[in-house]
Amino acid sequence: MSNAADSKDSRGWPLYQVFIRSKAGLDHKHVGSLHASDAQHAVTLARDVYTRRQEGVSIWVVPSNAITASDPTQKSENFDPMANKIYRHPTFYDIPEEIGHM
């Protein structure tokens, strides 16, 4: 998260990132952010800002400055090597037809 955006603005309402679970069984998904005077206020406001069209059953809010993000300049080192470990994928393996589904 960018440094300036995670600080309070001059009215003193910090920035919160909002995550919504759209229905039971699914993960919370990041939907955006809002400014609020504290975390409880943020949860209340998130309901009005982000769930007017029945988009959610559960809300998480996190102060922006509590989020630690991976370094995008290291994206290539961190994530490209995952591509050549294809033995982690089930499709790598040939299972004889006689075995049926596995």
Contacts to another protein by CB under 8 A: 1-5, 7, 9-13, 15, 31-38, 40-41, 44-45, 48-49, 52-53, 69, 71-73
Judging by beta carbons within 10 Å of its beta carbon (0-12, 13-18, 19+), is residue 51 exposed, middle or buried?
Answer: middle
Separation of CA 23 from chain center:
15
Least separation in angstroms between residue 94's CB and another protein is: 34
List 34's β-bridge partners, or say none: 16
Least separation in angstroms between residue 99's CB and another protein is: 42
The residue (of 48 and 94) whose beta carbon lies closer to another protein is 48
Cite the beta strand spans of the chain per DSSP E: 15-21, 28-35, 58-63
Radius of gyration from C-alpha coordinates of the chain: 21
The residue (of 53 and 89) whose beta carbon lies closer to another protein is 53
The residue (of 32 and 95) whose beta carbon lies closer to another protein is 32
Least separation in angstroms between residue 69's CB and another protein is: 6
